[in-house]
Homo-oligomer: A and B are copies of this chain.
Amino acid sequence: MTTEAPINRRIVLAQRPLGAPTSADFRLEESAAPEPAEGEVLLRTLYLSIDPYMRARMSDAPSYAQPVAIDALMIGATVARVEASRSSSLAVGDVVLSMNGWQDYAAVPTKGLMKIDASLAPPSCSLGVLGMPGFTAYVGLLDIGRAKSGETVVVSAATGAVGSVVGQIAKLKGCRAVGIAGGVEKCEYAVSTLGYDACINHYDDDFAEQLAAACPQGVDVYFEGVGGNPLMATLPLLNVDARIALCGIISWLNGANPGAVDTAPQIMRALLNKRAHIQGFVITDHYATRHADFRRDMSQWIREGKIQYREDVIEGLERAPLALIGLLRGDNFGKVVVKVAQG
């Protein structure tokens, strides 16, 4: 006789959102936690990562990845602890990076799990600065944006999980780093803690003028994760041969502004006038070639105290929908993680 299986809470996609997601688009279900098969481990989710890409997966519009099906578990990266092991490669108590999704427990093969070394940084950093967001910053700035010492880099969502790392790597590489963020507090943090040369509040009426003043040598690289106003304010500042590294369009994820003017002509005109370049990229393409470099460099920077990071921790799996809704509104301050269980 085994002991009774614990309850597994699971958050599934109840319906596809129209525009901004609401709580009604999610549903909390409960079932018995799964039993690991031979070669598998039972994982207890400690932290769930909340990321902008999740909004795209809730939609069935064409994308680079499959949408989450209606009534299926919401996907997501997790930090989890091994509760039971039927594999020789992981032991009970080991902490791993996994893709449990929005649930308490998962029984999975050990292949694809990465054991986390907690001596370098808290385990949840594997969802942020040492994880996919940090890697997105690294590849986007250095490979897609090809930032060089002395150039000016503008970073949208400058204090977010990705942007905060972009700005700091830009400084480490000798660039001028100018951030764009929503709110005075975020802008102050960007300069005082993250080391941006300047950070402009996109809610200010004279946002575009302030951004221009902060970029006296123009803009060589724009790290784009937002779309909308930050993009429009940056376009006139682009230097010849500027590069725009496009990793997301969070401001447009819920759809375009109805009744808005068509900004495509402005974008294309700027690209033409400045012989500029927009390159979309999807970070999963780059693990094979660049992840080892990233882990080496980022681990060293963290050990040397050169990279700061900040987490916005939401307590409780049941609040994951609110965490995502808030992220899409820009409510968060730093990398959003849901604390699901005590580590």
Q: How far is the CB of A63 from chain B (nearest CB, A)?
A: 5
Cβ of A19 < 8 Å from any Cβ of B? no
Cβ of A274 < 8 Å from any Cβ of B? yes
Cβ of A276 < 8 Å from any Cβ of B? yes
Binds B, one of A37-45, A79-87, A182-190, A265-273: A265-273
Contact with B along A200-234 (1 / 0, CB 8 A): 00000000000000000000000010010001000
In the complex the two chains form, what is the Cα distance from A268 to B226 in whole Å? 10
Assuming the contacts A227-B265, A252-B265, A256-B262, asked whether A280 and B271 have C-beta atoms less than 8 A apart, the reply is yes
Assuming the contacts A256-B262, A257-B262, A262-B262, asked whether A275 and B281 have C-beta atoms less than 8 A apart, the reply is yes
From B63, B246, B261, B270, give the contact of A268 (CB < 8 A). Answer: B246
Q: How far is the CB of A134 from chain B (nearest CB, A)?
A: 19
Q: Which residue of B lies closest to A277 (CB)?
A: B279
From B231, B256, B282, give the contact of A261 (CB < 8 A). Answer: B256
Cβ of A112 < 8 Å from any Cβ of B? no
In the complex the two chains form, what is the Cα distance from A271 to B227 in whole Å? 12
Are A249 and B268 touching (Cβ within 8 A)?
Answer: yes
Cβ of A278 < 8 Å from any Cβ of B? yes
Cβ of A326 < 8 Å from any Cβ of B? no
From B64, B246, B263, B272, give the contact of A246 (CB < 8 A). Answer: B272
Which residues does chain B contribute within 8 Å of A263, judged by CB atoms?
256, 262-264
Which residues does chain B contribute within 8 Å of A63, judged by CB atoms?
273
Are A252 and B281 touching (Cβ within 8 A)?
Answer: no
Cβ of A236 < 8 Å from any Cβ of B? yes
Q: Which residue of B lies closest to A227 (CB)?
A: B268
**A interface residues with partner B (beta carbon < 8 Å):** 61-64, 224, 227, 231, 236, 246-249, 252, 255-258, 260-282, 285
